[in-house]
Amino acid sequence: MSDIDGTRMMVKVHGKGNKIRYVALPNRSLKLLREYWHKDCPRHSYPLLFPSRSKKNNPITSSTVEAAFREALKESGVTRKATVHTLRHSYATHLLENGVDFRIIQGALGHKNPKTTAIYAHLTQKTALILTRALNKLMDNL
């Protein structure tokens, strides 16, 4: 619970290699987390928001998150192959599509090297259209 900063709208993320960074927390996510905490979160789990079922003082495992994600995919009717890591790719891609600076995305993902972040910069239909428009604008006066 102490990793959620509702005032600054940030979440402290404990990443791979014990890297710690802060990521923006959307209003809707904070609202849902608060609702979950007040209605569904087991009180014995404090300070953990998502405790392990078998070891109450430990957080849920990555395999539990992956299983929940697979179930959510099935329930949603999404047939495309995806993993929890796909969400990271989607997050970076959507931020890029919405004009967020590449360096900010690099920091949010916790990457030291911009080449690592570039892996997430998928060329989507929206970005392809933006590229085409920009090129057409440049070439119109030639």
Q: What is the pLDDT of residues 84-130, one digit of tens each?
A: 999 988 888 888 888 888 899 898 888 889 888 887 766 667 777 78
Higher pLDDT, 10 or 43: 10
pLDDT of amino acid 131 = 78
- Residue carrying the six token digits 């299983």: 67
Q: Residue 92 falls within a domain, yes or no? A: yes
Identify whether the C-beta of residue 98 lies closer than 8 Å to the C-beta of residue 116.
Answer: no
Name the token pair of 69.
């994600």
Does residue 99 sit in the same domain as residue 140?
yes
How far is residue 128's CA from residue 134's CA, in Å, rounded to a whole number?
10
Q: Which of 9-18, 61-70, 71-80 has the lowest mean pLDDT?
A: 9-18
Q: Residue 9 falls within a domain, yes or no? A: yes
Q: Count of domains in the chain?
A: 2
Q: Residue 67 falls within a domain, yes or no? A: no
Q: Residue 68 falls within a domain, yes or no? A: no
pTM of the model: 0.71
pLDDT of amino acid 18 = 79
- Other Cβ atoms within 10 Å of 44 Cβ, number: 9
Identify whether the C-beta of residue 130 lies closer than 8 Å to the C-beta of residue 140.
Answer: no
| 105: exposed, middle or buried (Cβ count in 10 Å: 0-12, 13-18, 19+) | buried
Domain that holds residue 53: 1-60
Q: Residue 17 falls within a domain, yes or no? A: yes
Does residue 55 sit in the same domain as residue 5?
yes
Does residue 49 sit in the same domain as residue 103?
no
Q: Residue 55 falls within a domain, yes or no? A: yes
Does residue 86 sit in the same domain as residue 141?
yes
